[in-house]
Amino acid sequence: MRFSGWRVIREGLTGNRGWGPHWRDPEPKPAYDALIIGGGGHGLATAYYLAKKHGLTNIAVLEKGHIGSGNIGRNTTIVRANYFLPGNSAFYSHSLKLWEGLEAELNYNVMHSQRGIINLFHSDGQRDAAVRRGNAMINQGDDAVLLDRAQLRAMLPYLDYDNARFPIYGGLYHARGGTARHDAVAWGYARGADRLGVDLLQNCEITGITIKDGAVKGVETTRGPIRAPKVGMVVAGRSSQVAALAGIRLPIESHVLQAFVTEGLKPCIDHVITFGMGHFYISQSDKGGLVFGGDLDFYASYASRGNLPAAEHVMEAGMALMPMIGRAKLLRSWGGIMDMSPDGSPIIDRTAVEGLFLNCGWCYGGFKAVPASGDCFAHLMATGEPKAEAAAFRLDRFRDGVGILDEEGSGSQHNLH
């Protein structure tokens, strides 16, 4: 079932009776060539690229709930390539390029909208840091423009410039950044993987990982045991729990991050705006809701719902930046479980168990990473060697301290990243 303008018109004229399910609902086979644990964005993208680029089609994605029920369907949809450190910047640059061709690649409308991201700064020191970051982005081949206060005011007239708690000095504008519809990304990759022969096994929780003579042999699941010589763990906020099934202790803490959406409003916010001083960021969805969030809830948890102190903090920051938001009615809020790594950067690596691979540590920034993470993890699982763009995301950097990728300079405290 391919999508096209003609197909939409034809189906519209014939009662939409020709559409089929996006993917099959197969029974688990007793054995596969490779298994991916976790049907989030990263797991589905990995399966897609394993099949598409490496010809591994006798593979399955094992998801304990339904496709899209994790963070891939809970995030605030920001896509950007504005990282500073070598190691991160090449990877996110690669990801943004994949985003730019994703809809054609998947034949699926993921509503990728390059509406631009503006990071505000509020002091001379922050301006210097923004200039440095912008230069790093340009050197990487991406885009960055420094906006002064007058230019910013012309673009974002609704911010509080005259009476603000943190006076606005300007912003770093990343025009190719923007948003995409989060669950459409999961559905697009799921459909693409299914079309290449990948089995998507929903309601299939991993309860054990079978290891013999130092090599992985398969997994135990709620739908029975499945054998495979290669297994990839891609379970985001559940990474420590699933790795523990293989006897591996990860340097990952799970923390809650909340997000909020208002009732639908007429278009008023054209960009994504981040207000680091107040821990607040905002964009407007295509349905009109103002989508915004802030910082973590600041304690480790496996509950995918948040608490009121963090909600109050986010609302206060929103009011401090753009008092007009006080007129909007909040419609919903929700939370997701973040796999926080000590340096705020991810892990894409082998483990000490032969055939067992690890992809985690995405913190609150893993949505934009989905295409590159899938591409690089598939490369690692297929060839046994890291792809150049992800070579810095080693697990052992937390043991030897070499190559720590601390973008924020926050040190090794998980909840500060």
By CB under 6 A, name the binding residues for ligand FAD. Answer: 37-43, 62-65, 69-72, 74-78, 205-206, 234-238, 242, 257-259, 293, 336, 362, 364-368
CB of 52 to ligand FAD, least distance (A): 18
Nearer Cβ to ligand FAD (153/289): 289
Instruction: Reduce the secondary structure of the chain to three states and give it as a string.
Output: CCCCHHHHHHHHHCCCCCCCCCCCCCCCCCECCEEEECCCHHHHHHHHHHHHHHCCCCEEEECCCCCCCCHHHCCCCEECCCCCCCCCHHHHHHHHHHHHCHHHHHCCCCCCECCCEEEEECCHHHHHHHHHHHHHHHHCCCCCEEEEHHHHHHHCCCCCCCCCCCCCCEEEEECCCEECCHHHHHHHHHHHHHHCCCEEECCCCEEEEEEECCEEEEEEECCCCEECCCEEECCHHHHHHHHHCCCCCCCCEEEEEEEEEEEECCCCCCCEEEEHHHCEEEEECCCCEEEEEEEEEEEECCCCCCCHHHHHHHHHHHHHHCHHHHHCCEEEEEEEEEEECCCCCCEEEECCCECEEEEECCCCCCCCCHHHHHHHHHHHHHHCCCCHHHCCCCCCHHHHCCCCCCCCCCCCCHHHC
Give the residue carrying structure tokens 């509080």: 160
Nearer Cβ to ligand FAD (31/164): 31
Nearer Cβ to ligand FAD (322/340): 340
CB of 167 to ligand FAD, least distance (A): 26
Give the residue carrying structure tokens 């007793």: 30
Residue nearest to ligand FAD (CB): 40
CB of 215 to ligand FAD, least distance (A): 21
Nearer Cβ to ligand FAD (44/392): 44
Nearer Cβ to ligand FAD (39/170): 39
Nearer Cβ to ligand FAD (140/373): 373
Nearer Cβ to ligand FAD (121/281): 281
Alpha carbon of 273 to those of 166, 324, 369: distances in Å? 15, 15, 19
Nearer Cβ to ligand FAD (219/321): 219
CB of 42 to ligand FAD, least distance (A): 4
CA distance 24 to 34: 19
CA distance 17 to 394: 49
Nearer Cβ to ligand FAD (37/404): 37
CB of 110 to ligand FAD, least distance (A): 13
CB-CB contact of 260 with 329 (8 Å): no
CB of 191 to ligand FAD, least distance (A): 16
Give the residue carrying structure tokens 């890291």: 386
Nearer Cβ to ligand FAD (68/171): 68
CB of 210 to ligand FAD, least distance (A): 14
CB of 56 to ligand FAD, least distance (A): 19
Nearer Cβ to ligand FAD (112/238): 238
Cross-strand pairs, 199: 60
CA distance 308 to 204: 33
CB of 41 to ligand FAD, least distance (A): 3
CB-CB contact of 349 with 390 (8 Å): no
CB of 310 to ligand FAD, least distance (A): 11
CB of 78 to ligand FAD, least distance (A): 3
